[in-house]
Structure 1
């Protein structure tokens, strides 16, 4: 049987943004799919039309949603996540529900201390109003360009916004922001797990939303585990690295690493 691969998107991107990755991994012999978050509709347009379906969904809701999907598979999947999807991927791996994980520009987990100004600015459309914790919030094209598309042309950023951007629940951002003050934070990951599968962290050197120093601080959280934990940097890439014109380099890097892990 082929090895299942599950792709998990982050805030403000629809699951369809993974389609080129799904196609590539399928070509390479994996059983690849990209199921959306709870509340996501089948298409970008349908999701935009019903933002209330996403409102109030927190980190635990998303983890439970994907854990239920994993339980239907014939084997533990490889999980590949971007942004908050990268955090979810790490949680699922730490719970021994995944065979391996690739966390790309992953949102901050509990214990990560750096909080760069660019991260705050990227989250400002949500964090500026506490009431947004129970709402779904959309970005403007300008906010999307700062948070995702700052290393690509304005035209490409706008095209990606028009094609993939959806409202996002505010709750995960508030949960992550308060993680280091909450002993039971849903942003906590079992980083000391010795029996988990291998983990690859990826960082974009120009990322405003999850800067490279945040990813490196995440790597340090795994220092007490002897399980495989690797990191790859893409110095000239920003938060759009999974969906912009250079996506294939990132995907091929993940495929090469999985091959090295005999996966």
Structure 2
């Protein structure tokens, strides 16, 4: 069973539902803090899924061997049970999952937020190894990564900018959970194929992102034949940072230009 947080309702103004897909170590809760209510109040039906083994979603096999293909199946299972094809919105690893989903599924539009680029996790992995070689070695040996992202200091480095209040960083760090080792390997080997994607995409990035560089965001946009937009003074978790309303407003306005 998948946990799905569902707010709002379809309207004539916004006929397509919005399906939000979280990144690594997160779950549907990260969208429920601000985004779901914002879009519901604007007349959308907004849903967030917790991928299997995350949040309140169960898994029939150990989380460590859940694959990106499993996560794509989760997104498809929710999308297929909606009355209309949803706009899919993915953050970080969730953006990677959305890219793989779009290879074989139609969507009226899609949004990538601070997404893992089509080249996968290589760049972020090398940066992690350079900054924290011993932590990276322990993750490689044990397959367990939560301890190396979930302290307030490490969570800020990876997910939040320097201006985010300590209380917010500490609060969200306690909600992070373990991630799949197999999905991390897929992020190196089972890469997206942008040429298979025909959906129109909005690509957004954060100027102070400790996980995905602006250069990688621009490369993602180029691969999908569009232009990236970078929000300054914002960390990786764009839906949780204090500047989140600007991001939500940009998505809302862009969906309007798509007739959605």
Structure 2 residue ranges without an equivalent (≥5):
1-9
Question: Counterparts of 2:218 and 2:45 in 1: how far apart (Å)?
Answer: 31
Query: CA distance change for structure 1 residues 251 and 208 in 2, over 3 Å: closer, same or farther?
Result: same
Structure 1 equivalent of residue 98 of structure 2 = 89
Please report the TM-score for the alignment, with normalisation by the length of structure 1: 0.80
Question: Counterparts of 2:65 and 2:249 in 1: how far apart (Å)?
Answer: 35
- The DSSP-based 3-state class of the residue aligned with 1:55 is helix
Query: CA distance change for structure 1 residues 87 and 128 in 2, over 3 Å: closer, same or farther?
Result: same
1:29 is aligned to 2:43 = yes
Please report the TM-score for the alignment, with normalisation by the length of structure 2: 0.81
Q: Alpha-carbon deviations, 1:22-52, whole Å to 9, x = none?
A: 1111111211111110122429xxx9xx9x8
C-alpha RMSD of the superposition: 2.8
1:238 is aligned to 2:235 = yes
Question: Counterparts of 1:259 and 1:122 in 2: how far apart (Å)?
Answer: 41
Q: Tell whether the 8 Å contact from 2:204 to 2:230 is kept in structure 1 after alignment.
A: yes
Q: Tell whether the 8 Å contact from 2:234 to 2:241 is kept in structure 1 after alignment.
A: no
Question: Counterparts of 2:97 and 2:252 in 1: how far apart (Å)?
Answer: 20
**1:73-152 mapped onto 2 (5 Å cutoff):** 73-110=82-119, 118=127, 120=129, 125=135, 128-133=138-143, 137-138=146-147, 139-141=149-151, 142-151=153-162, 152=164
Where does structure 1 differ by over 3 angstroms across 4 or more consecutive aligned residues? 110-133, 135-138
Per-residue deviation, 1:119 = 5.0
Structure 2 equivalent of residue 182 of structure 1 = none
Q: Tell whether the 8 Å contact from 1:79 to 1:101 is kept in structure 2 after alignment.
A: yes
- The DSSP-based 3-state class of the residue aligned with 1:29 is coil
**1:1-263 mapped onto 2 (5 Å cutoff):** 2-19=15-32, 20-42=34-56, 53-110=62-119, 118=127, 120=129, 125=135, 128-133=138-143, 137-138=146-147, 139-141=149-151, 142-151=153-162, 152-162=164-174, 164-176=175-187, 178-179=188-189, 185=190, 187-189=191-193, 191-193=194-196, 196-223=198-225, 229-263=226-260
Q: Alpha-carbon deviations, 1:167-202, whole Å to 9, x = none?
A: 2223222222x33xxxxx2x223x1247x2210111
Query: CA distance change for structure 1 residues 260 and 121 in 2, over 3 Å: closer, same or farther?
Result: farther
